[in-house]
Structure 1
Amino acid sequence: MPQIRIRNAADYLGVSDDTVRRWIENGTLASTKDASGRSVVEGLDLARLARQNAILPVDPSEVGRSARNRFVGIVTEVVSDTVMAQVELQCGPHRVVSLMSAEAVRELGLEPGSPAIAIVKATMVVVETPHRETPHLETPNGKA
């Protein structure tokens, strides 16, 4: 199970180191010491806390939909030519960039300062991890 240092845990949750330390002190989050004697938290415990503390912004629409990856935010930039446009939104701590037709930008009235919701419905999402040693993997025929 991954162990995460206090500073990194704070970064992942978007809070201060002191907030994580207070959670440890009041029993909200358990900690242990790593081999170097630094305080660490278990990755699974941190993931559970992140989910419990997730605050979803109020969705101004009242439309039902299947897409679950919705980001409420504000348009920060629109770069457009006659055919295509690039729209940038700030959704909490997340920057979301969308390419769409210039016609859609005009119809939606998108401009910097406009409230908007980015809805992501993807068949593929790339997940990366911080650099670390990769365990040796074997294929079913015994070769890597």
Structure 2
Amino acid sequence: MSIKSINVRNQFKGTIKEIIEGPVLSEVDVETPAGIVTSVITTRSIRELQLQPGSDVIAFVKSTEVSIAKL
């Protein structure tokens, strides 16, 4: 399968650094040039996509809200 086009503009190419699997949900840490991007997806999706540390992926970020905190 290949993606011809997608409307998500915030895309981060990277490599999976770590996967913390849970019974239903899992955390996927993707190392990108901008830093680590963490995604929470279903464990079923981890298996179906055959994701593992070292896999090259694209993290798509689409949000209607971005919060900012002053340091």
Q: TM-score, normalised by structure 1?
A: 0.45
Q: 1:88, CA displacement in angstroms?
A: 0.3
**Alignment correspondent of 2:53:** 112
Unaligned runs of 5+ in 2: none
Count of residues in correspondence between the two structures: 70
Matching of residue 79 in structure 1 with residue 20 in structure 2? yes
3-state SS in 1 of match to 2:4: coil
For the pair shown, the structure with the greater C-alpha radius of gyration is: 1
Q: Which amino acid aligns with 1:65?
A: I
Q: 1:93, CA displacement in angstroms?
A: 3.2
- CA RMSD, aligned part only? 1.5
1:98, 1:117 → 2: CA distance? Answer: 11
3-state SS in 2 of match to 1:104: helix
Matching of residue 94 in structure 1 with residue 35 in structure 2? yes
Q: 1:110, CA displacement in angstroms?
A: 1.0
**Segments of 4+ moved more than 2 angstroms:** none
Q: 1:81, CA displacement in angstroms?
A: 1.8
Q: Which amino acid aligns with 1:113?
A: G
2:63, 2:34 → 1: CA distance? Answer: 21
Query: Equivalent pairs: percent with the same residue?
Result: 33
Q: TM-score, normalised by structure 2?
A: 0.87
1:69, 1:128 → 2: CA distance? Answer: 21
**Alignment correspondent of 1:63:** 4
Correspondence list, 1:14-33, <5 A = none
Matching of residue 103 in structure 1 with residue 47 in structure 2? no
3-state SS in 1 of match to 2:47: helix
Compare the two structures and name the one with the higher strand fraction.
2
